[in-house]
Structure 1
């Protein structure tokens, strides 16, 4: 019996293997746990699959490294072991699992898996706004709503959560949210010392420092600006993108300095065996300013004034 995510026929897999050899090809996509060293054809994020019971998936073939069409049950279709139909030929086999973006939910029917961006492929066209997905089936960094005059664009994490950064839609042509997405990804991996600075629309500020290294960055990608060099953090003021009036005498902004000081204090308390010490957490935005709220000792949210004059002097 075929596995749930098996391609309808081996012909499609042979087609992909041929494309790997003749091009145009790209390296295997950056899919977690992808062990393939082969390339794969770059399919678009939203592809019209040939059959009504086939759905696009970013991990369809080559051990989950390449996109393609897989079989699955549609939205609202009964699911579970009781609905599985075994047949003797591939051509008439009934899918036994829900399509990508769906989950077998309450009532044993396929429902939207709202934590998966592929669920948006099953939303009816009558819905006014549908989130956009990237080529890996994750939420795209920039999501826009509304018309070109009054609409807005916001930055989102790969899991579909709002993160720092927004812009009016008519000014968002060069908005990538690359900085906000990178910070969100690093923090999700457990890094508490990320010091990348983002602009209000989620792009990179021109001067960046992180993990003791500073560089002049491209605002849309964060990559090092051509013709410049990265330097140790203590030499950051020698970079051509450094501006004393704009950047001040230290890279970390006031909120960040306080937040990092608290982190170090908490670690010292733990080292000395004091694990029950609590104090107000200082939370900073991705541009280094204070967040609108901070968590107090009792867990309550304390309203703060957002400070954007990061280099204020007493």
Structure 2
């Protein structure tokens, strides 16, 4: 009986807490909210019943976001830019993570975030956050320690294409990825001219005829030269 009375009383408190009277704000004295006192963003009229400005903490990816309202009071936090609160995990996740939960990289990334959360925001020693594309597969370049390598969509290293991390700014691994996917088809006859870091070279030769190519292996312009005059191509 006592438990029932407590629950009933709490329900009355909640019902009263979420009701905003027409003259509610006239009875409220607002405290000043400034950027000096707010470690987040200031929401105009974001407080209870819209009477006062409020300060919202911007949560980072992986942070708990399950607390939305308490006795009718608006939440004092929200997921940061580019993130939303996943209703299944109650964690802040990116749009990509939500839409591509079945991809091999997306699954590995979710596991990484879960482990990091369990360890108080710190990843396991040696654990590297995987970089995923918009479809949940691994991005072609993955870095660990001081080395970046080219990988397949499933995250496996492609041959020995790599570069020191401080020399990897322009590393896109497009040639290495295209070469691997072509080899996976079982076809033969196409040659790939890749640099050691997995990018396309600035030229390609078919037989004895060479021409300039872009960073996706597509021909640039119409000029061709004999392979013996490659230095005259000026790609």
TM-score, length-scaled by structure 1 = 0.38
Higher Cα Rg: structure 1 or 2? 2
Structure with more of its chain in helix, by fraction? 2
Structure with more of its chain in strand, by fraction? 2
TM-score, length-scaled by structure 2 = 0.49
